[in-house]
Amino acid sequence: NAGVTQTPKFRVLKTGQSMTLLCAQDMNHEYMYWYRQDPGMGLRLIHYSVGEGTTAKGEVPDGYNVSRLKKQNFLLGLESAAPSQTSVYFCASRTGLAGREQYFGPGTRLTVT
């Protein structure tokens, strides 16, 4: 099993450009999450999904959109990138069973100039 994978690993964008980050998991997990990690701030939840076709806002959703058209994929979109979105983005997934951990992808480092 590959676990949780993220594409791309690195990206540099100019202000105003758009892009989509792809998260894929092969563990048949129901729940998927997108986090951003900034120095001194830990992981902050951007958006999450409790199943195929459903998404919801997390703590810091502004400037991002998500879609979960297939159970194994969770896409994070930036429509008009801003320097404040420079960050490392982590995707995670977990089973719906109680008391289980989240599994994280390797991260995507995004720089917006």
* Contact between 5 and 103 (Cβ < 8 Å): no
The reply on whether position 107 binds other proteins by CB under 8 A is yes
**CA–CA separation, 46 and 63 (whole Å):** 10
The reply on whether position 99 binds other proteins by CB under 8 A is yes
C-beta of 30: minimal distance to other proteins in Å?
A: 9
- Other C-beta atoms closer than 10 Å to the C-beta of 96 total 10
The reply on whether position 67 binds other proteins by CB under 8 A is no
C-beta of 105: minimal distance to other proteins in Å?
A: 6
Binding map of other proteins across residues 24-63, x = CB under 8 A, - = no contact: -------x-x-x----xxxxxx--xxx-----x-xx----
What is the rounded (10 degree) CA torsion for 80, 83, 87, 92?
A: -20
C-beta of 80: minimal distance to other proteins in Å?
A: 26
Phi and psi at residue 85, to the nearest 5°: -95, 5
